Amino acid sequence: MAFGSFNGGGNNGAPMSEINMVPLIDVMLVLLVIFIITAPLLSHAVRIDVPQATSAPSQVDPITIDLAINADGELFWNDGKIDMGVLSERFEVAARQEPQPELQLRADKATRYEVLAQVMADASRAGMKRIGFVSTPEPKPVR
């Protein structure tokens, strides 16, 4: 072991080149004792009777209404052309259905926002609660 001296003799005040390992070994032994004591406590389990629940999957198929709007503002209800005046009546009928169908809006990029906002306002006024937007992701560039 190398101990430094206060009188500056021997190695002319050069720093110690050895690491004192005793504190490190003490800490490791304390941690080892702590882990030995706590390890059996971690594997102890408490038995409780948890209630068993079973649920059958829902057999109701979701109903969707596909409403497409092209760039000219023409509306297509489930692939059939429809007029804006008839649209609010169809929304009211669909809103009364149980369960209420989901309205899926598909709009062309060039569709005016005014038309889209009018359709959403009509659906909301009729009581449609489930409105979703369908979009097509852009293709990733090939590298």
Residue 42: inside a domain: no
What is the Cα–Cα distance from 87 to 47, expressed in whole angstroms? Answer: 60
Question: What is the structure's pLDDT at 58?
Answer: 65
> H/E element holding 69?
strand 64-69
pTM over 0.95: no
Q: Find the radius of gyration of the CA atoms of the chain.
A: 37
Buried b (16+ CB within 10 A) or exposed e, 101-112: ebbebbbeeebe
- Is 139 contained in some domain? no
Closest CA to 84 of 52, 112, 54: 112
**pLDDT tens-digit profile of 47-97?**
777 777 777 776 667 788 899 999 888 999 988 899 888 998 999 999 998
| CATH code, 72 | 3.30.420.270
**Using one digit for the tens of pLDDT, what is the confidence trace for 13-23?**
677 778 888 99
Q: Is residue 116 included in any domain, yes or no?
A: yes
Residue 68 within a domain: yes
Tokens representing 20 are 């004192």
pLDDT score of 11 more than 90: no
Domains in the chain: how many in total?
1
Give per-residue pLDDT as tens, 34-54: 989 888 777 766 777 777 777
4 belongs to a structural domain: no
What would the pLDDT profile of 92-137 be if each residue is shown by its tens digit? 999 998 888 999 999 888 888 899 899 999 999 999 998 888 887 7
Containing domain of residue 115, as a range?
Answer: 64-133
Residue 7: pLDDT band by 50, 70, 90 thresholds?
A: low
